[in-house]
Each structure stands twice: as structure tokens, then as C-alpha cells.
Amino acid sequence: MANLRYLTAGESHGPGLTVIVEGLPLGVPLGVQDINPDLSRRQGGYGRGGRMKIERDQAIIRSGIRLGETLGSPITLLIENRDWANWVEKMAIEAPQLDIPPVTKPRPGHADLAGMIKYGTGDLRNILERSSARETTARVAVGAIARKFLAELGIRIRSRTARIGSIVDEPGLDHARPEHWPWDDVEASPVRAVTPERADQMMAEIDSARVDGSTLGGVFEVVAWGAPVGLGSHVQWDRKLDARLTQAIVSINAVKGAEIGPAFANAAARGHDVHDEIAIDPDRGWARLSNRAGGFEGGMTNGQPIVVRGALKPISTMRRPLRTVDVATLQPTTAHFERSDVCVVPAAGVIGEAMTALVLADAVLDKFGGDSLPETRDNLQRFRQTYAVGSESA
């Protein structure tokens, strides 16, 4: 990301997480009240484990904000790990005063073994602490900042659970009409599903997996409304915005696939049933008769709602562990277990919102620039006037 840059730092059981964000224009209204609700949403969802009962994630702003607005300078956030109190000796920064036994039983499906070999360490904790999904807390915090910036420009982002295990929730609502979606019900749902009956079935499947000592994956869907035509570019592979977005989604822990719109269904259809026909609407100007492209054509936004999905595998830490080999003794054993969720799909949707916001905010700054929010907004508004349809057509 060349325009909105950010770094996260911190380990799962260390003192906390740190974020530095640079590139946000001056004058964006921002405070912890814009960040903490998303941190809370990430901690929710049916199927979460004991860690969520310990943490109460809250962002502490250390720089970049004055009198409730961004300064245009780097923003620093801190998020404390309350569980650190239980790990002071095992995760001590100083040289150990006690004998700290290494973790030597890698979990299939986790970064443990590959990281051990790559970095040449005999203690898997040196890998698993940073590869943990705890890091996504920091990404949700910085994503909330990007979301607030986008909201000032009329761009909104929401998510829902489309599948958990074998239970699929496809309510058939029109993405082009966000006002028809029951978003309050989604946020109230323990699994963030649209259909209450499907939510009950999803929770039953999660309960079954918990009894079995196993885990469940699924699919989340993120939708963004209000993005103008022309974010991204067709001229180089790494400037295609749909490619950058799917990379961001797959970067989320346990996500192994992503699609823009109904991409895999489109692959099984004929062209006449896939491409979004173009029309002129008397009120909106340029319009589309469908949105099977998911808001992108040629690597650029086309003014339609952006729809991206992420597919999560079942997470790899399980109460009934899989077979592995102890890296210290080279003897067969079972995988390391500390504490685990059963299902994280509802939380992954919130992380997906954050990653979508970060990618779109960077693309907006790339096209419209601006050292202050008024300048960026003016540039965007002037551009919208050059064509007859923009995000309003969504």
C-alpha cells in the first residue's frame, strides 16, 4: 500500500499490540469511539473460545490526533493484552531467569513447522506467537480508521456470514439496495447471519463440532457501497484493485480462498448469463442491469457495489488434536493445544471489513490525493461530475 501505510507489531501473549498508520489526510474526525466498537465486534460471534472472555480490547491513541481530528501525521495506537499477566515469564523480554520449556509439537495446518524450519528455531512459540490471529486485532483497529475516512466520502462497508460448515445462508437480497438488508439483525445474530433459521442451524453445527473436539470453517461476505468508478487500474497487474483486494482478504488467518462477486458460479455459466449489461437510467445516468462482476471490470471499480467473499478453513488448534511429530525427539505424538475457538467465521467478517476498508482507502488516496479531507473530498466530487453515474448508482 503506497498511500495509506501501516505496520502492526506485537505477539499474541506479549504486553500488547502496536499500530502505526501514515497517510491519512488532515481533518478526518476520529477518536477511540470510532475504533473500539469494531474491536468489540471482532471479539464476538458464537463459537469463540476462552481468550475472548479475558480480553476487553480498547485502543489507546498515542499520536496523530488533536482535538478530535487527524493531523495528517502518523497515528499510533496501542492495544493492551490483558492475558499478558498470565504469560509474563514465558513471554519475558529479558533473558529468562527460569527454565522455559520449548513448544515442540507442531500443529498441522498452522505456521508452526514451516516457520520453525524457515527461521531455524527449536521453540515453536517463537513462530506461533506472531502467526496467531491475535494480530488481526491491530488490523481491525487500523481498518476502523480507514472506514471512518471512507465514510466521510460516502463509502460504506458491511459484512455477513454466508456459510458455516454445511449450512449456507443465501437470502437473495439485492446488493444494490443496502437499505433492504437487515443489518441490525445481522449484528444482533450470534453468527452474523441474515436468516434466523440458518443462524440456529449454524449454531447447532458449531455445538456439534465442539462436542467432537473439532472446528468449523465457512464463508463471509463483505459489501462496499459508494465507491466511485475508476479506482485501481488496468495498466499493470499489481495495480488491479480486485487483485489487491483478494490478496488482502486471503491475508486473514485461515482464509484460503477469495472471490469477487459470484466468481465460481460465473465460471460454470455462459457469458450471456454473466456479464452486466449497460443501460441509461433517467435519474442515475449510466447503470447496470446486474452486478455479477462484483463491482470490478478490468481491475477497476465500475460504480456498482463491491462484493468480495473469503473462505475460511477450520482453524488448526483443536481440542482433539491431530497426529504430528515432536521436533525435539522426532517421535510421533499429538499436536500442541493451549486454547482454541471452535468457529471464527463471524469475527472473520469484521476483519474482512477492515481489510476492504484499508484497500479502498489506499485506492482513493492514490486517485484523488489530498493533504486534507476537504481537498480529497473536493477532488472526488469534481471527478464524479465528469461522468453521469458514480456510487449513487449503487
Q: Provide the CATH number for the domain around residue 231.
A: 3.60.150.10
Predicted pLDDT at 282:
79
d(CA 389, CA 109) in angstroms, rounded, equals: 46
Number of compact structural domains in the chain: 1
d(CA 11, CA 385) in angstroms, rounded, equals: 47
- Say which residues have a Cβ less than 8 Å from residue 68's Cβ, sequence separation at least 6: 29, 30, 31
Predicted pLDDT at 49:
72
- Say which residues have a Cβ less than 8 Å from residue 84's Cβ, sequence separation at least 6: 13, 14, 15, 16, 91
Mean pLDDT by 10 residues, the chain (394 residues): 93 96 98 97 85 79 98 97 91 86 95 97 96 96 98 97 97 86 94 97 97 96 96 97 98 97 96 93 81 96 96 93 96 89 96 98 97 98 76 42
Is 297 within a domain? Answer: yes
The answer to whether the beta carbons of residues 140 and 351 sit under 8 Å apart is: yes
The string of pLDDT tens digits covering residues 273-299 is 999 999 988 777 788 899 999 999 999
Q: How many CB atoms lie under 10 A from the CB of residue 175?
A: 20
Is 26 within a domain? Answer: no
Is 35 within a domain? Answer: no
Predicted pLDDT at 173:
87
Enclosing domain of residue 379:
103-393
Is 48 within a domain? Answer: no
Residue 34: all three cell numbers together: 470510532
Predicted pLDDT at 392:
45
Is 14 within a domain? Answer: no
Is 324 within a domain? Answer: yes
Is 20 within a domain? Answer: no
Predicted pLDDT at 50:
65
Predicted pLDDT at 174:
87
What value does the CA radius of gyration of the chain take, rounded to a whole number of Å? 22
For 185-188, which contacts have Cβ atoms below 8 Å and span 24 or more sequence positions?
186/158, 186/160, 187/41
The string of pLDDT tens digits covering residues 28-58 is 999 999 999 999 999 989 987 766 666 789 9
Which single residue is written with the C-alpha cell 495446518? 109
Predicted pLDDT at 355:
98
Report the mean per-residue pLDDT for the chain.
93
Is 86 within a domain? Answer: no
